[in-house]
Chains A and B, each alone.
Chain A
Amino acid sequence: MDLSFLEQLLGAPVEEEEGYRNIWVVAIAWEPHLRACDLQVVGKARNLADSLGAYVNVLLIGDNADEDLARELIVYGADAAYWGAGYPTGHSLLDFFSQHKPEILLFADAAGGRKMAPRLAQRLKCALVTHAVDLSINAEERSLVVATPIYHGAAYRVVECRTNPQMATVQQGVFPVPDRDDWRSGDVEMVELEWKPQPPLTPVEPPEYYIPLEKADIIIAGGRGLRGAGWQLVEDLAAAVARRLPHKAIAVAGSRGAVDEGWIGAEHMVDLTGRTVAPALYVACGIRGTFQHFGATEKARCIVAINHNPDAPIFKHADYGIVGEVEEIIPALIEVLDS
């Protein structure tokens, strides 16, 4: 029987590309221990590999890579670990992966991977999804489905990779560090790549405007709405909170408006172009709220907004809001806190 019509109906038979299988992770040991972000990727790769029926192989590079660290990777979920001390040249990395043909190739979105992944992707003429916050497998197509934030997480783009290899960098802190399983065993092998000399990187003092506001438990922030009331109110409120909660780290910050007005230095600016913060409590006094401001404060556990304009966008992002003049509300708050 002539079944060629079936072939036409289904399209030409897909030619299976030989050999693109297994999940590879590139881990980097700058220091004599494994980075949490790499372990997170290995853990996620383990999950994906189990649903694909594939192996997780890890390539460990970096000046401090050694056999013991490679064995650690097995304990955390890899099936095979390849290691080499040094930083490989782009060409040798390309050769290595052309030879091993990963189906999925993952990097941590951190120093090293952030630069290595796009460079390798371009050499392979291949797509790369960065900052992945969710990874799953489309079992029908055997393809990697990746969610990645756009507009700073206002929405997510879900991308299905159809290239060989399917490449992604994984955002830090999204997936847990996997549990150790000291009974796991796997192959550990040293690889010879072409290494390139890396200039020694010594950290320098961060520039003055990068003071870690991140360390604060409670941040009292002011914006342009304080023009009539005076900046001192914010400082007073911070002082009152500090009297009430002497064991908490309390910081004063400003929106871009407040910094532009010269009320507070740029080192205290909460904005995507300044610092992003994640305090337990963020109090926004007289801040209207811009996209950049929300981007910088979205990780705060609780946001309180005080603004005279009931339509100010900040109320859409706040857990608690008080509509009213800051010069009335803040003294009342101070009074309650002190009582």
Chain B
Amino acid sequence: MRIVVCIKQILDPETIKFSRSQQAIDDRLATRIMNPPDRWALDAALRFKEADPSIEVIAMSLGEPGVEDVLREALALGCDRAILLSDAAVVKARAAGLAQIVATAIRRLRNVQLVMTGHMALDTGSGTLGARLAIELGDWPVLMNVDQLRLEGGHITGLQYADEKYYHSSYPLPAVATVLETPQHPRYPHGADIINAYRVRNVEVWSSLALGIDPTTLPAPTTGRQLRVPPARQLGLIVEGTPQEAAQTLVAMLRSRRVI
């Protein structure tokens, strides 16, 4: 059985700047990282593989060739294969088209029983890929926003978060699961594995042409978009003085604001 984990590369939110004058994201100094929720999804998939070595975990990502780095990281973490879907059509496509491309690639892999991804991408924050993929794959069931995933007897079960309550849900395979972040740390790769992932391992690059997708049939990008950067939060007040004075001033200020 094969598990596909869809990984997105995003700009590290800690390193990007938002330019208020340009109303744009300044990514000149930004580093690119694996979308954190996807890391948890990958972690869950690798746990399944540890429990049952016959499971093959395949990391999949799409975009420009630079995205390869997150796939190398996935290989270093223990994925069996890494596939990058990359060409002009992929770069241009939006949600509906992307889901079609990814689903075609997943179908091409055969015997994929489970597709996992993070519950959302931190950058766009949309979190719709899982549900869209499920439709494209032929109306597979989708477990959204789950935690504590288990594979048992041909079913995937998890603790689902919805409307501030938790539910156990279970669906038969094949299925799609979108994974929540939890306080438990996901694994990070060892240095030697990272070096191997670059020296020895191979990221397969698939193009939509090779998948037999005609880019003209993909849904056109349908939305015009622009960015709006909210005004900066007003800088707070630094309370000066010796510790005792500062403490007194602070408590007086908090009291005058009726916070305490």
Contacts and interface: CB of A to CB of B under 8 A. Distances in A.
Interface of A: 30, 90, 110-111, 114-115, 117-119, 121-123, 125-131, 147-163, 199, 201-207, 209-210, 218, 241, 244-245, 259, 266-267, 269, 271-274, 280-281, 290-291, 301-305, 310, 315-325, 328-329, 331-333, 335-337
B59 to A, nearest CB: 21
Given A151-B123, A273-B183, 11 more contacts: A119-B132, A122-B99, A130-B125, A130-B128, A151-B125, A160-B223, A207-B159, A316-B235, A324-B246, A335-B247, A336-B251
Nearest to A112: B162
Nearest to B170: A199
B253 interface: yes
A333 B131 contact: no
A223 B138 CA distance: 48
Pick from B183, B229, B248 the residue with the most CB of A within 10 Å.
B183
A207 B122 contact: no
Contacts of B95: 121, 127-128
A127 B13 contact: no
Nearest to B253: A320
Contacts of B25: 155
A321 B241 CA distance: 12
Interface stretch (B65-73, B141-149, B203-211): B141-149
B188 to A, nearest CB: 13
B107 to A, nearest CB: 15
Contacts of A111: 162-163
Interface residues of B, number: 70
A322 B250 contact: yes
Contacts of B233: 316-317
Interface in B86-132: 94-96, 99, 122-128, 130-132
Contact of B226 (A158, A322, A333): A158
B166 A203 contact: yes
A156 B230 CA distance: 7
A291 B250 CA distance: 25
A154 B11 CA distance: 13
Interface of B: 13-14, 16, 18, 25, 36, 94-96, 99, 122-128, 130-132, 134-136, 139, 142, 144-145, 147-148, 159, 162-163, 165-170, 181-184, 219, 222-230, 233, 235-239, 243-244, 246-248, 250-251, 253-254, 257, 259-260
Contact of A321 (B14, B184, B225, B238): B238
A272 B226 contact: no
B50 to A, nearest CB: 21
Contacts of B165: 203, 206
Contacts, number: 212
Interface secondary structure of A, over-half rule: mixed
A244 to B, nearest CB: 7
B184 A241 contact: no
B230 A322 contact: no
B243 A329 contact: yes
A90 B138 CA distance: 12
A320 B250 contact: yes
B223 A162 contact: yes
B131 A115 contact: yes
A77 B18 CA distance: 39
A63 to B, nearest CB: 15
Contacts of A305: 236
Nearest to A316: B235
B147 A336 contact: no
Given A154-B18, A280-B259, A315-B236, A333 B126 contact: no
A146 to B, nearest CB: 9
B260 A157 contact: no
A329 B260 contact: no
A157 B227 contact: yes
